[in-house]
Amino acid sequence: MPQKKRQLSLSVFVQLYGTHAHAWRRPGIPVGGNPDLARWARIVQLLERGKFDFAFFADFVGNGGDGTGERIGRGPRGGGFEPLTLVGALATLTQKIGLVATVNTNFNEPYNLARRLASLDHLTGGRSGWNIVSSLSEGAVKSFGVREPLDHDGRYERASELVDVAKQLWDSWDDGAFDHPNQETGDFLNPESAHPIHHRGKHFAVDALLDIARPIQGYPVFFQAGNSDSGREFAAKYAEVIYAAAQTLEEAKSFYADVKGRLAKYGREPDHLKVTPGLFFHIGSSRQEAQEKYLSFREAVDLSGRKQFYGVDLSHCSLDDPLPEGLPEPVNGRGRWRQLVGLARRENLSIRELILRFSVVQGHRIVVGTPVDVADQLEDWFVNEGADGFNLKPSFQPDSLEDFINLVVPELQKRGIFRTEYEGTTLRDHLGLPRPADRSARVATARSAG
């Protein structure tokens, strides 16, 4: 069978107003802090019209802090749903697009999480993904009353054990275990299709059979966003899509080669992990118009009170000072921190420029130009192994998304690197990822090979 042509993956980091901190202030945009499912649904249905692989929903537990900060009233709040709940609702309002929810491993137990994610995969018809996050912000520590927070490596260790136990729970039933109940004999299922787990580890002890059938996809698709060495190793072992950050092709290619080069030790193929850097974009009918949009974005950024990077306090510095030497590495976001410091030293940037060039866009790439210019840059990274796809960060929604879907997507389709129609029904189908075999099938394969 001929090998299927490699296709670009496109997804969106979905936020109500857009990623620009002041998108909510744009004239004509309906604003309000009360949760409104219809508004979220319109964005995801727009993405489905554009044939995107998935919509990505972040979560920042404890991000609200204690409500006493001086900027508490400055940013939009209140309209965000808990991601798993939101994805469950959106499943009934969409048909093809993948739906990815962030769940933090520090505040969940394997049984409940495996049960919820299996439920979600059935509710979506096999379109679910789990963004595995193990970060632990100061706000989260306070919100959950964590008395002894785990360090960076300890959090990855706990996350690794949680994923391993969740996989065992999903495999506690064979595929099709509930397909043949026999009313005449009274046998609802074959007991040999059940595989109770008995796990004893450093963080968890679980004796259980999951009380729902194995997920349609075997496991939900695993997402991860670690840039540190520990994060890259975790991605190589578990992740099927990694949400990366790079500002140059050289930086992207280095990350791409490094993380994919780690897969073989875990018995995985390079195509089993999709690398999808974040992407900010500004599209115009001319390059001048696109540049004007970008400059208006920069000029609208509120710089007051923004003298902090990844928890490192720079309040003693002027915005026009260079980044000081000898700063301590933060507990969270080490990989991004090192990228930020590297950019600051390489280009001798002031703190002001670092905020505008890096912090505001979370270290991601910015493309500015006509639809052809944007497509050219995406194709360049795609064919030169800097990316398998991109996770878009639209400045304003839905305007920026509509521009991309109406103007850039047709250009990518014309070049034959992005789909014109969905060819499958599951998120694994969209991404070209293998479906994990169930436990019985793996045992049978091992026996025949041995």
Per residue in 9-25, pLDDT (tens digit) is 999 999 888 877 777 77
Residues 186 and 145: beta-carbon distance below 8 Å: no
Confidence tier at 299 by pLDDT (50, 70, 90) = confident
- The yes-or-no verdict on residue 348 having pLDDT over 90 is no
Residues 439 and 195: beta-carbon distance below 8 Å: yes
Q: Please give the average per-residue pLDDT across 322-348, as a whole number.
A: 79
The two structure tokens encoding residue 33: 């802090």
Would strands 98-104 and 128-133 be described as parallel, antiparallel, or unpaired? Answer: parallel
Task: Give φ, ψ of 356 to 5 degrees.
Answer: -75, -35
- The yes-or-no verdict on residue 2 having pLDDT over 60 is no
Alpha-carbon distances, residue 80 vs 58, 116, 140, 362 (angstroms) = 10, 19, 17, 20
Q: SS3 of 403, please?
A: helix
Q: Please give the average per-residue pLDDT across 182-202, as a whole number.
A: 96
Least confident of 51-55, 65-69, 123-127, 319-323: 65-69
Query: What is the distance between the alpha carbons of residues 297 and 291, in angstroms, rounded to a whole number?
Result: 10
User: Within a 13 Å sphere around the CA of 192, how many CA atoms are in the beta-carbon half?
Assistant: 2
Mean pLDDT score of the chain: 90
Query: What is the distance between the alpha carbons of residues 154 and 36, in angstroms, rounded to a whole number?
Result: 37
Q: What integer pLDDT is reported at residue 1 of this predicted model?
A: 41
Q: What integer pLDDT is reported at residue 176 of this predicted model?
A: 96
The two structure tokens encoding residue 415: 């070049």
What are the strands, taking DSSP E only, across 219-326? 221-224, 241-244, 274-283, 308-309, 312-313
Structural domains of the chain ordered from first start: 9-283+367-449 (3.20.20.30)
Q: What integer pLDDT is reported at residue 220 of this predicted model?
A: 98
User: What is the torsion angle, in degrees rounded to the nearest 10, for the CA atoms of residue 235, residue 238, residue 241 and residue 244?
Assistant: -10
Q: SS3 of 381, please?
A: helix
Q: What integer pLDDT is reported at residue 145 of this predicted model?
A: 87
Residues 66 and 141: beta-carbon distance below 8 Å: no
Least confident of 211-215, 406-410, 442-446: 442-446
- Please report, rounded to a whole number, the percentage of residues in the chain having pLDDT higher than 70: 94
Least confident of 21-35, 251-265, 371-385: 21-35
Q: What integer pLDDT is reported at residue 3 of this predicted model?
A: 60
Residue matched to tokens 């609200």: 64
List pLDDT tens digits, range 207-222. Answer: 999 999 999 999 999 9
List pLDDT tens digits, range 351-387. Answer: 888 887 777 777 789 999 999 999 999 999 999 999 9
Residues 320 and 351: beta-carbon distance below 8 Å: yes
Q: What integer pLDDT is reported at residue 160 of this predicted model?
A: 97
In terms of Cα–Cα distance, which of 122, 116, 96, 79 is closest to 44?
96
Q: Please give the average per-residue pLDDT across 164-186, as a whole number.
A: 97
Least confident of 41-45, 299-303, 345-349: 299-303
**Where is pLDDT greater, at 444 or 430?**
430
Helices (H), 205-274: 229-237, 249-261
**Where is pLDDT greater, at 288 or 76?**
288
Would the pTM of this model clear 0.75, i.e. be above it? yes
Q: Please give the average per-residue pLDDT across 51-55, as a whole number.
A: 98
CA angle, 324 then 329 then 333, to 5°: 115
Alpha-carbon distances, residue 190 vs 185, 419, 421, 445 (angstroms) = 12, 42, 40, 21
In terms of Cα–Cα distance, which of 116, 94, 86, 11 is closest to 45?
94
